[in-house]
Amino acid sequence: MSEQTQSKRTVKDKDVVTLEYTLTVDGEVVDSSEQHGPVAYIHGMGQLVPGLEKEIEGMAEGETKEVVVTPEEGYGPEDPAAYISLPRSEFPPEIPLEPGTVIQLSDPQGRVYNATIHEVRDDQVVLNFNHPLAGKTLHFTVKVVSVREATPEELAHGHVHGEGGHAH
């Protein structure tokens, strides 16, 4: 009897997938697993942008793929209503009031929001609350490093345990 080679596992819902990836936007690399190692996530739990997760479905261990994600399936279109102007006097002096500076603000309920300073006027500061990649087409190169079934505990908690489980 000859041994049969086991077929490679393919990605499906509730699998823990470990990915190597590079994200390029407007021709510039904005994030890559080369900087901090592969990421592990639970497939089908909405931990990746929808357009990327959809393309990873069915990929096999060791497979590499180029994926283009439109803004609608990425971080959404840019929302003009997410630009808010606040009086300059509300900003503490230690915050550099320069376009591109990212700051955190909290609402009365204690929820924290990231905003980027868009424009600084004489008496106003215009903040952009859109995700920095809103309205952008995302170009991913992804490689499925490994695929395994998620444990009941991981599914209950909604995240991967023990192997760099943060998602983008």
Architecture of domain 15-75+134-157: Roll (3.10)
Residue 152 three-state SS: helix
Q: What are the pLDDT digits (tens) for 42-72?
A: 999 999 999 999 999 999 999 999 999 999 9
pTM: 0.80
CATH 2.40.10.330 residue spans of the chain: 80-128
CATH 3.10.50.40 residue spans of the chain: 15-75+134-157
Neighbours of 8 (CB within 10 A): 12
What does the pLDDT profile of the chain (168 residues) look like in tens digits?
444 445 789 999 999 999 999 999 999 999 999 998 999 999 999 999 999 999 999 999 999 999 999 999 999 999 999 999 999 999 999 999 999 999 999 889 999 999 999 999 999 999 999 999 999 999 999 999 999 999 999 999 999 987 544 444
- Residue pair 142/20 in contact (Cβ under 8 Å)? The answer is yes
Fold of 80-128: Thrombin, subunit H (2.40.10)
Long-range contacts of residues 147-151, Cβ cutoff 8 Å, at least 24 apart: 147/9, 147/10, 147/11, 147/15, 147/16, 147/17, 147/18, 147/60, 147/61, 148/9, 148/15, 148/16, 149/14, 149/15, 149/16, 150/14, 150/15, 150/16, 150/42
Place of tokens 């003009």: 80
